[in-house]
Structure 1
Amino acid sequence: MVILDRLPTVDRLQHLGLTVEDRCLMCDNGHETRNHLFADCPYGIQIWSAVLSLCGLERVMMDWERELVWLYTRLKGKSLIVFILKLAWNSYVYHIWEERNCRKFRNTYRDCSSLLGCIKDTVCIRVCSRRVHMDDVNRHICAA
């Protein structure tokens, strides 16, 4: 859904003719689009940068299209780091969207460290369920 830009973000709802508040609930600054939520929003950037750092990767998040190209070229093969990065990316997208919905519909907020903890828990549960051997680099994403 997110890659096909089919999430009901504010810009898509407005395109359908609905009148909705035109702001990002995560940073209270930008216009809520898929690209903003997952690649331009300071909240999302901070989370994804922390996830990459836990995986031993230091890089600046690019715009949405470049980030997808980077992921597409890096997430090939069956190595443990590729498996963990795929899980981390999917968990990142899921939890950012979940946080957006909690803020919109429940008026509840989590800070970056809480959301990062949820992503780490999700990745750790999936990795541990496969009983794979963790090396020092990949163990950080599962550390409490």
Structure 2
Amino acid sequence: MGLSIDDDKCLLCGLEAESREHFFFDCSFAKSQWGTILTLCGVFRMVSSWDGELAWATHCLKRKSLIVKVLKLAWACHVYCIWKEINNMLFGGSTRSVDVVLLDIKEAVRVRLMGKFINTTDPRNVALCASWGIPQTTT
């Protein structure tokens, strides 16, 4: 009973053994995706390991500002989309490009924040909305 595994290499990059640490932040696919998400949020830093990213998120994502909301949503979408792409490769034999997956993440974040009040007097919020395609509701 169980799965017979011939190869334990990552289904997205084929370079390293499958692990939580590798899948979500060390894999070149995941690292590129999360790095782009950070850049879209105006966060310019190197992508770390699972533990490093979790420590960063735990420390930095405590407030209720727009950027924190976007990063929390994007984190959840990132993890879900990586899992989904691994399943697409495992069961369908193909994955989508990082750019296509990022469009899905941006859409999920946009839809979740649509209609929410956004303080447009803060230029950081305006820039964030522009990067993510979030409609700005001011009333």
Aligned to 2:137: none
Partner-residue secondary structure (3-state), 1:49:
helix
Paired residue type of 1:67: E
Aligned to 1:142: 133
> 1:13-24 to 2 correspondence within 5 Å?
18-20=3-5, 21-24=7-10
The answer as to 2:87 corresponding to 1:87 is no
TM-score (norm 2): 0.85
Deviations 1:58-117 (A, max 9, x none): 110111111100000111011111111100100101111111111111123201100111
Aligned to 2:99: 113
Q: Distance in 2 between matches of 1:74 and 1:107?
A: 37
Uncovered stretches (5+) of structure 1, i.e. residues with no partner: 1-16
Q: Distance in 2 between matches of 1:141 and 1:73?
A: 23
Aligned to 1:123: 109
Paired residue type of 1:68: L
Aligned to 1:64: 50
Contact preservation (8 Å) 1:38, 1:96: yes
Paired residue type of 2:126: D
Q: Distance in 1 between matches of 2:24 and 2:55?
A: 14
How much has 1:45 moved relative to structure 2?
Answer: 0.2
Uncovered stretches (5+) of structure 2, i.e. residues with no partner: 135-139
Query: Runs ≥4 in structure 1, deviation > 3 angstroms?
Result: 131-134
- Percent sequence identity is 37
How much has 1:44 moved relative to structure 2?
Answer: 0.2
Cα RMSD (Å): 1.8
Aligned length: 128
Aligned to 1:13: none
Partner-residue secondary structure (3-state), 2:9:
coil
TM-score (norm 1): 0.82
Highest Rg: 1 or 2? Answer: 2
Q: 1:50 aligns with which of 20, 30, 36?
A: 36
Aligned to 1:76: 62
How much has 1:30 moved relative to structure 2?
Answer: 1.0
Partner-residue secondary structure (3-state), 2:114:
helix
Deviations 1:12-58 (A, max 9, x none): xxxxx743131101101111111100111011000000000000111
* Higher alpha-carbon deviation: 105-114 or 86-95: 105-114
